[in-house]
Amino acid sequence: MGVSVPYTILFDQEMNIYCQQRGYCIGNDEILCQQIDNCLAGIKKVK
């Protein structure tokens, strides 16, 4: 894949890439949590 560490990939329920983050900055964990919440909200709407 040729990625540097840390590298985070969030997939949706159909294994499509929902969000990607390269490296780390202060606050990335909060952004990732928001993206996870958004992704889960999208899954709940589909069901």
pLDDT at 47 over 60: no
pTM above 0.85, yes or no: no
Residue 20: predicted pLDDT: 84
> Residue 37 falls within a domain, yes or no?
yes
Please state, rounded to an integer, the average pLDDT across all residues of the chain. Answer: 81
The per-residue DSSP string of 1-47 comes to: ---PSSEEEEE-TTS-EEEEEES--TTHHHHHHHHHHHHHHHHHHH-
Look at residue 2 and tell me if it is in a domain. no
- 11 located within any domain: yes
pLDDT at 1 over 70: no
What's the pLDDT tens digit per position in 12-32? 888 988 888 888 788 888 888
Report the domain count for the chain: 1
Asked if the structure places residue 42 within a domain, the reply is: yes
What residue numbers bound the domain in which 23 lies?
7-46
